[in-house]
Amino acid sequence: MKELKGACLFGQSGGPTSVINASAAGVFLEALNQKNITRVYGAVHGIRGILHEELIDINQEDPKELEYLKNTPSSALGSVRYKLKDASVDDTDYKRLLEVFKKYDVRYFFYNGGNDSMDTCNKISKYLQQANYECRVIGVPKTIDNDLFGTDHCPGFASAAKYVATSTMEVYLDSHVYDTGLIVVIEVMGRHAGWLTAAASLANLKGCGADLIYLPEVDFDLDKFMADVKAVAAKTNNKAIIVVSEGIHDKDGKFIAEYGKDVAHDSFGHAQLGGVGLFLAGKINAELGVKVRAIELSLLQRCAAHCGSARDIEEAFNAGKMAVKYAISGETDKMVIFERKNQKDYEIEYKLVDLLYAANTEKKVPLEWINKEHNGVNEKFAEYALPLIQGELKFPLEDGLPRFAHLKKVMVQK
Amino acid sequence: MKELKGACLFGQSGGPTSVINASAAGVFLEALNQKNITRVYGAVHGIRGILHEELIDINQEDPKELEYLKNTPSSALGSVRYKLKDASVDDTDYKRLLEVFKKYDVRYFFYNGGNDSMDTCNKISKYLQQANYECRVIGVPKTIDNDLFGTDHCPGFASAAKYVATSTMEVYLDSHVYDTGLIVVIEVMGRHAGWLTAAASLANLKGCGADLIYLPEVDFDLDKFMADVKAVAAKTNNKAIIVVSEGIHDKDGKFIAEYGKDVAHDSFGHAQLGGVGLFLAGKINAELGVKVRAIELSLLQRCAAHCGSARDIEEAFNAGKMAVKYAISGETDKMVIFERKNQKDYEIEYKLVDLLYAANTEKKVPLEWINKEHNGVNEKFAEYALPLIQGELKFPLEDGLPRFAHLKKVMVQK
């Protein structure tokens, strides 16, 4: 293995999770310890911070505060949703990136994000190779959606899953308290993959779960849904918990959320969803005449660090750490993945997959884990997901409130 | 003090909190230890369970499971919203209650709830007195609204306050992550009292707080609100956290939630609120053209036992315990209250207030704690509320999920 000396640059991208900063801590604390890494930089707002040359000097941060990053949700450096054009179409951004990389002698580049971010990371990696600029590029996975290809699961998913399952249990107890009926529709994030929505089923293991769960992996039929709800309501004296993914759609691919409103699109061409829970709640109320509540878990589900999975935090930290170790060992153009060694005694290995495969390939809940009625998941899901939410969370408090990291964020002189 | 031997009956009433069952644990575990209490009963769905003679035999419960009640949200026995008519108008229910009390030799009656429940408790107490049936009646306070008269604060409030402040901090980090604007409107429960909404201001102590907070104690003006939002948005590059009480209303008393929809009423004549956050978010989006999210904390805020205040749990437990001790000592026709001994080193005494005063009197946030602009609270609120959310929560988990109490709920033979 050839030694490579130079600076390290880390960026965060895409939607926040509870543990994206745990990966940052892993990258930073490992990089600061590596003799071949001359300087550690953090990009402000991911790729945009590199283009604008807005870099934070991580060497000036207090290592104790970097430890606090493990329990600080969202992206401490700032995130971004910025789609790089293909270099063959327009290489302006790439030229600028290379210029900045050269200026700061960046020889290690780590990018933390989901599908779209791995696409960005892959494009940069390929461009740097083609430009013959030696730089080791490793992607660090992250997404509550759990839909990255090639890895058993993604950092961020388990903490959100624990929050969804815990909240479902708590809402179950709350909503079953009166002798009158109440149907609760809980809306969970996940545009195309239902992993997080399926996590509500973990509450069922404890007898406080969802009666009906709808994932975007299968088509949603409103009439069938109403029949399902009526059947449950008849059996339960109108008390039910229904959990739906924001991304459920009909057989023509139309989002059910669109049934009730117009839909805008973000810069990746994704429909801006939300509101499907409210729409379905209104429908149930109108047809059954019972009291209905829609609860959209919204941002809460992806930033609830106070309910994080200890195992998720540890793995997210290690993903960042291993990215640096692999890069130092000579690897590049890859993304860190988790490989589950065996099902019984949960254990994972940190391995690598080509960035090309990680980018833009979505991993969905296997259809054979979804029940025949398409309104729930079977025991396979719990076998998969339950090990991920284990461990005893040590969540630092100060005055009874979360103690989040305080970074100095000293900007590097341009 | 005259000794009184007989059974004890406990009921839960009104909206759930995270710690209402902690008070149940306090009542049950203390009552089971008292030699003058011959039997301990729990009423299913509060007053309705007494009328229907649906009683649970608490003596058959495992004391270890009763301990788990401390961390089990909602009302384990079932709750109720049932308004007793004045006995002078219709004494049917009262006669039936007396019949059941006599049949089971109930000499100790404890009722756990908020304003409306204390009204019920007071009416029962007065009727039993007038009927010359010897029974010691003690109310146990409970409400996330924190609006009960005569007590420094109410069990349930602090846990919900901790959840609101914690969630505000987390949502702050999540929503400030991009370099594009996002305004978040968080809707908090509280029809007439803004205590819980004001709890969002605790997040401000940590630099991750709300820019604007609106309480129902003062009139809300939509034009002034929009001017406030615009002023903040101009300073913050369109990033803002706005926290509103569900109960904000205009100078004519009309709920802002009603601006967007028709309003139903519950059996106490309260308007069924919800949706004010969504309404205001739509308004902001339409006028400012920025991305806006409405997050309704909904049931989550009152059942999030996983984020409970350790001090709140302890006090709720003690409130139940002290209710039994006071009754045994001869007290009746009272509600347990908390008296704060001093501000610096937080300490409370468990005292009593006449049920008559506790019933139907609402305690609101003092106007001098609200800022001049009517869009925030001053340091007085934090001085009051911060001590209430302290302590290290020991939240029992099993398989990474909450370990709630499993009661046998053996029904008493009619």
- Set of chain A residues whose Cβ sits within 8 Å of the Cβ of B156: none
pLDDT in tens, B48-79: 999 999 999 999 999 999 999 999 999 999 99
pLDDT at position B261: 59
The Cβ of residue B65 has, within 10 Å, a number of other Cβ atoms equal to: 16
Superfamily of segment(s) A158-304: Phosphofructokinase domain (3.40.50.460)
DSSP A76: T
**Spatial distance between the Cα atoms of A50 and A99, rounded to a whole number of angstroms:** 10
**Cβ-defined contact of A178 to B81 (cutoff 8 Å):** yes
The ranges of chain A with pLDDT < 50 are 262-274
Closest approach of chain A CAs to the CA of B110, in angstroms? 19
Closest approach of chain A CAs to the CA of B386, in angstroms? 7
- Burial level of B47, CB count in 10 A (0-12/13-18/19+)? buried
Domains B6-155+306-361+390-402 and B158-302 share a fold: yes
**Spatial distance between the Cα atoms of B207 and A65, rounded to a whole number of angstroms:** 16
**Spatial distance between the Cα atoms of A131 and A99, rounded to a whole number of angstroms:** 11
B158-302 folds as Rossmann fold (3.40.50)
pLDDT in tens, B131-149: 999 999 999 999 999 999 8
Closest approach of chain B CAs to the CA of A2, in angstroms? 37
**Cβ-defined contact of A306 to B309 (cutoff 8 Å):** no
Report yes or no for ipTM above 0.90.
yes
B111 to A266, A343, B70: CA distances (angstroms)? 53, 49, 17
- Burial level of B57, CB count in 10 A (0-12/13-18/19+)? middle
pLDDT at position B268: 46
**Spatial distance between the Cα atoms of B264 and B258, rounded to a whole number of angstroms:** 10
Query: Which tokens is A149 given?
Result: 């290809």
Which of these, A129, A130, A124, lies nearest to A100 by C-alpha position? Answer: A124
**Cβ-defined contact of B174 to A309 (cutoff 8 Å):** no
Can you give the pLDDT of all 414 residues of chain B as single tens digits? Answer: 789 999 999 999 999 999 999 999 999 999 999 999 999 999 999 999 999 999 999 999 999 999 999 999 999 999 998 989 999 999 999 999 999 999 999 999 999 999 999 999 999 999 999 999 999 999 999 999 999 989 999 999 999 999 999 999 999 999 999 989 999 999 999 989 999 999 999 999 999 999 999 999 999 999 999 999 999 999 999 999 999 999 999 999 999 988 865 444 444 444 443 489 988 998 999 899 999 999 999 999 999 999 999 999 999 999 999 999 999 999 999 999 999 997 778 999 999 999 998 877 789 999 999 999 999 999 999 999 999 999 999 999 999 999 999 999 999 998
Looking at the domain that runs over A6-155+306-361+391-402, which CATH code has it been given? 3.40.50.450
B6-155+306-361+390-402: which CATH architecture?
Answer: 3-Layer(aba) Sandwich (3.40)
- Which residue from B73, B170, B184 is facing A170, i.e. has the nearest CB? B73
Torsion on CA atoms B302, A72, A204, A297, rounded to nearest 10: 60
pLDDT at position A263: 40
- Which residue from B81, B173, B389 is facing A404, i.e. has the nearest CB? B173
What type of residue sits at position B216? P
* A:B CB pairs within 8 Å: 165
Average pLDDT over chain B, rounded to an integer? 94
A337 to A47, A138, A320, B198, B310: CA distances (angstroms)? 22, 11, 11, 44, 39
- Which residue from A177, A299, A404 is facing B293, i.e. has the nearest CB? A299
pLDDT at position B262: 44
- Looking at the annotation, which residues of B are catalytic? 145
Indicate the domain borders of chain B: 6-155+306-361+390-402, 158-302
**Cβ-defined contact of A179 to B303 (cutoff 8 Å):** no
B332 to A369, B88, B124: CA distances (angstroms)? 58, 22, 12
